[in-house]
Amino acid sequence: MLSSVIGGARIPAGPRSYRSTDPSRTSETVAEVALADAGDLVRACRAAREAQDAWRDVPAPVRGQVVAAVGRLVEANKAALAAIVTREVGKPRAEALGEVQEIADTCAFFLGEGRRLYGQTVPSEMPDKQLFTFRDPVGVVTVVTAGNFPVAVPSWYIVPALLCGNAVVWKPAEYAAACADAFYELFAHAGLPDGVLNVVHADGAETFRGLERALGEGLVDKVGFTGSTGVGARIGELCGRHLQTPCLELGGKNPMVVAEDADLPLAVEGALFSGFGTAGQRCTSLGTAIVHESVHGEFVRLLDEATRAAAVGDPADDVLFGPLISERFADGFEKVLGWIGPGHTVHGSTATGRITAAAPRQGFAGDPEAGLFYHPVIVDGVGPGDELFMHEAFGPIIGVTAYRTPDEAIALANAPGYGLSASIYTTDPAKVFAFRRRISAGMVSVNNSTSGAEAHLPFGGNGRSGNGSRQSGMWVLDQFTRWQSMNWDTSGRLQKAQMDVLEIAPDPGFRL
């Protein structure tokens, strides 16, 4: 039985628990986790508050060495942690290893930032006066993450937050509790003092109530959230009442524009990976392929061919994708499949819906009846009037539509109102820069898929995909630090800005 960790100690198990199962073998339990309540989250925030002052006073380069130790422990335990990710959320082994590597990459970047939390000296308009700026930690950071990337995404928040001198309270997804526990243990064994990183296993309702109380008591200085747009809007509203700006990384309906001059096999490869990798359960998964009418038919034919040939099944095997993460996500995807209408044409597999003995998938790896396995689906003919076109699907489904002009492609790409990731396949630089200038997405790929982040590049979206905050790279430092300015007057007299400024008079009437 796993339980929350507050102030370095496991708290006693309460009356409620959650059973995390292997989505590829739903009869197998991965972990039993004791669910905390709102009061536990408040206690964790209080413990973080008590620990933060001492952690802030640890020199930043030394905090960087703790981050370096985390990175070394992650690399030493890479295979073991990836195996837990595969077993608990059904991510194929290659993807799980890549996810764990992203933690190590994040640590590798931020260990150096401990020596680069630079402020500036600024020239003053007064003599004998010095101006400075400093980065200070915000204080206590509460992070709430989804479980589709159960260890990589938390590291995007937790590593820079700790590096900057904050204490953290983390609420992971219940269905990824074993991943979260392993993640915590790696950080704890890197030398973090008790209370600097706290983990609270709770459901959504108790988390929200606890966060509401903690904010009301002044125990939380920053909230980070990765999850659905609807929940993100509620958290944003709650934080706004306390004059806080949360870091919100939300959903996406990510477009891929395929121009008439595109390398079609390359575009198909990108669509296959970004549409069906992680069973379409990424915030950056391909939503709709927007294909020029002159190549639309050929693109659909090639994508259908590639999708039918792709291996699907047991994530321990070499497959494109495995199961959906949990029954909750399977139920959600069943609803999405109901959005397919009579005006749509379906491609990609031998059936739609759950893969079973009655609805088999050719070349399936493993036992389809054992887990939450679904057929990949390509739906041609979607448009702005369709729910499938306008809303995030979060499952192995790709919409396809045709366009005639670049203006139409941009309008279609922006229509759903999300703004996370977008892609264009073309050989024309003019098309690339026109697309970049007018697309609403925070991230743009050229001749590459909508999915794929590097640890030193800003990650985040606009519109329904987020509030403009960015993770990763040096840009995330602005989420976890506040700028403080200082002026130091050594003149021995009061010098008033804008008033006691030396004026040098020009001769504006001079002419040659």
Cα separation, 381 vs 388, whole angstroms: 10
**Angle, vertex CA 331, rays to CA 206 and CA 253, nearest 5:** 85
Tokens (6 digits) for 129: 């006066």
CB atoms within 10 A of CB 19: 12
SS3 state of residue 365: strand
Tokens (6 digits) for 292: 């020029």
Q: Measuring CA to CA, which residue among 378, 6, 456, 318 is closest to residue 188?
A: 6
**Active-site residue, from 249, 327, 408, 503:** 249
- Residue 211 · residue 220 · CB < 8 Å: yes
SS3 state of residue 91: coil
Q: Residue 109 CA to chain centroid, in angstroms?
A: 17
Cα separation, 47 vs 51, whole angstroms: 6
Give 167's contacts (C-beta < 8 A, 6+ positions apart): 48, 49, 51, 52, 55, 139, 140, 141, 195, 196, 197, 198
Cα separation, 485 vs 230, whole angstroms: 37
> Would you give the end-to-end CA distance of the chain in angstroms?
88
Cα separation, 87 vs 77, whole angstroms: 16
Q: Residue 234 CA to chain centroid, in angstroms?
A: 18
CB atoms within 10 A of CB 166: 26
Cα separation, 287 vs 282, whole angstroms: 10
249 among known catalytic residues: yes
Cα separation, 49 vs 250, whole angstroms: 27
C-alpha distances out from residue 40 to 3, 223, 235, 417, 438, Å: 11, 17, 19, 37, 46
* Burial classification of residue 432, based on how many CB atoms lie within 10 Å of its CB (0-12 exposed, 13-18 middle, 19 or more buried): middle
Tokens (6 digits) for 364: 């399936």
Exposure pattern of 415-425 as b/e (b: 16+ CB <10 Å)? bbebbbbbbbb
Q: Which residues are known catalytic residues?
A: 249
